[in-house]
Chains A and B, each alone.
Chain A
Amino acid sequence: MAACTKRLDRFIISLRLLRNLQLQNERFLSTSQCLRAAGNDSESPKFVPPSKPVIVDKTQTVASLRKFLSPEFIPPRQRTDPLKFSIERKDMIRRRKVLNIPEFYVGSILAVTMADPNASGKTNSFVGICIQRGGKGLGATFVLRNIINNQGVEICYELYSPRIQKIEVLKLEKRLDDNLMYLRDALPEYSTVDPEMKPVPFSPTGEVPVNKIKVRMRPKPWSKRWERPKFNIQGIRFDLSLTPEQMEHAQKWAQPWLEYDMLKEYDTSKLEEQIIKEVQQEMSK
């Protein structure tokens, strides 16, 4: 009996040894196979990361995405040949395929990196709130405003300039007006944007959030008489800087007949639909 157990033990031990040997051999075999498979590399094979999973968001259909046509695509009402606008649009789309120009409105906060021969690292970046979008076609511009070291700075960038390397929307929102030039006469807190701001996530569906803030102004005199009806500003708290008599006096410059002037009507709805379709087709190619 003892001899059996001893033999059994030895057998088991030898089995274990064999198993270990076998395992070691297998490990050696497997590694040597890998080495051979890798083409006789003397170094270890490079780590190939697994492919990233492609996330297809099936909750958002194409139809629910917000349709946005950048205002510089809409041609002004002129006697120019439409061929000129279509050739210009082709160039704009070519540039948009290389540089991603995101959707943004006046009042959104953007960060722009531009190539600059005089800056160290050859690029300079600027973060600011968009106060104006002007121009049509390839010469379209937008003005970013920020206050840096107690100094107000406004920079006018051309959307299609080749020096612009990146345009990023940090916060997408609209304001009550199309033109925020009155921020020059407002208190500085309304124009300060943190240069190291983190991007605020926004959804590509649904309405763009409208910031209904009413801005407080510095004491008069202002650079322009913002209370006059030709500017049609909704976003200023006039009750804090002007008396009701002054507001009434400003209404003397009102031109109420302009609203009914048929010659000034420019209906762009059909043009816009056409251009949106064309742009989306070309961009998806």
Chain B
Amino acid sequence: MAAWSCRFLLLRGTRVIPPRAPAERPALLVGCIRTVKTTTWFEENVTEDNQEYMRKSMAEEYRRQTAEKLNPLKDEPWPRHEWTEGSRRVGLVAMKLGMVPVWTKTGERHVVTMLQVQDCHVIKYLSKEEYDGHSAALLVGGKNVSPFHRSEKQMEIFRNAGVPPKQKVTAFKVSDSAIIKPGTPLYAAHFRPGQYVDVTGKSIGKGFQGVMKRWGFKGQPATHGQTKTHRRPGASGPGGDPAKVFKGKKMPGQMGNTYITAYGLKIWRVNTKYNVLYVNGSVPGHKNCLLKVRDTVLPNRRSTLLNPPFPTYFTEEDGDLDEDLYDDDLFVHTEPSLTLT
């Protein structure tokens, strides 16, 4: 039974002191924050040599597990089907690296975000009945993370798949022809240049924000007699007829740190050596955050997805891709300078 622990914050003058040491003088109790849900952490009762040993053994086990899963097609793979018009395939979990400019063959400049696919594995298959009754789902995990801070329940799922524990685990709704055996690694070449994707991520948290920043209200003038009213919302609705404020009224509150999806982003370039996708425009989230990338849901952009690697890209099967796959319109830096005619 996990025990809760509280951290008491004491205020002495203007300094806040974390109370590992007992307080010598009586001080004001500012608040208490629940931090750790178990009473011990993995390093507490372990000597330094043993800690190092645990870390090394964890790293070795990760390497062994990833090496085992490198050849999914030899490992009793599940039956593979052909791609049809209405079938949906898996997505990936990628990390946002940063943004770079990119030029087309006509000289136009666009900005792209680089997304790196790091240690992406399929973790579990949930059938239609298990998931939501409408379509099957595949759980996919992202970056590798240490097992010491994951609970037993989480570790069970990763152990069943034979895969190191992941930082982000998301579900992708897939059609039944696109299901993949758990443990299969997923690579950036799953997406091809010229295709459109939707990227979902947690936007940067801005905290409790006022109405001008959160909803773009105009506020009030700075001068001309305004009394203490410069950034307030002003009126909150019509008058006596409804005699109430409607639900969903834009008001101050928490801004950011929510899941936002950017739809219809074109893929300009895929680097198969480092598993990097170059995705048009900006993407929600801060640098080095994990995002969920999947094929577009927009109907006008689905026609570009003809014969994609289905159910996913396997290195053993079509492993002869170039290091860099470019879109047709993209200017590659090894070509001579443009001469516009």
Contacts and interface: CB of A to CB of B under 8 A. Distances in A.
Contacts of A83: 97, 116, 274
Given A83-B97, A88-B100, A138-B100, A162 B331 contact: yes
A115 B100 contact: no
A80 B340 contact: no
Contacts of A99: 337
Interface string B307-337: 0000000000000000000000001011111
A78 B287 CA distance: 10
A164 B109 CA distance: 13
Interface in A104-121: 115-117
B103 A161 contact: yes
A253 to B, nearest CB: 25
Contacts of A139: 100-101
A97 B97 CA distance: 26
Is chain B's interface secondary structure helix, strand, loop, or mixed overall?
loop
B338 A95 contact: no
A148 to B, nearest CB: 23
A165 interface: yes
Contacts of B335: 98, 162
A161 B109 contact: yes
B96 to A, nearest CB: 10
Contacts of A19: none
B339 interface: yes
Contacts of A88: 100
B276 A87 contact: yes
A84 interface: yes
A84 B336 contact: no
A23 to B, nearest CB: 54
B209 interface: no
B100 A162 contact: no
B107 interface: yes
Nearest to A85: B98
B55 to A, nearest CB: 22
A92 B100 CA distance: 11
B146 interface: no
Interface in A56-94: 78-81, 83-84, 87-88, 91-92, 94
A137 interface: yes
Contacts of A161: 103, 107, 109
A87 B98 CA distance: 11
A163 B104 CA distance: 10
Nearest to B273: A87
B288 interface: yes
Nearest to A116: B340
A73 to B, nearest CB: 14
A164 B336 CA distance: 10
B50 to A, nearest CB: 31
Contacts of B116: 81, 83
Contacts of B109: 158, 161
B331 to A, nearest CB: 5
A115 B339 contact: yes
A220 B276 CA distance: 53
A161 B98 CA distance: 19
Interface in A217-266: none
B103 A162 contact: yes
A139 B109 CA distance: 10
Given A80-B98, A81-B97, A139-B100, A87 B274 contact: yes
Given A79-B287, A161-B103, A162-B331, A84 B337 contact: no
Interface string B118-141: 000000000000000000000000
A6 interface: no
Given A160-B101, A161-B107, 10 more contacts: A83-B116, A84-B114, A87-B114, A87-B271, A98-B337, A116-B340, A122-B340, A158-B109, A162-B338, A165-B337
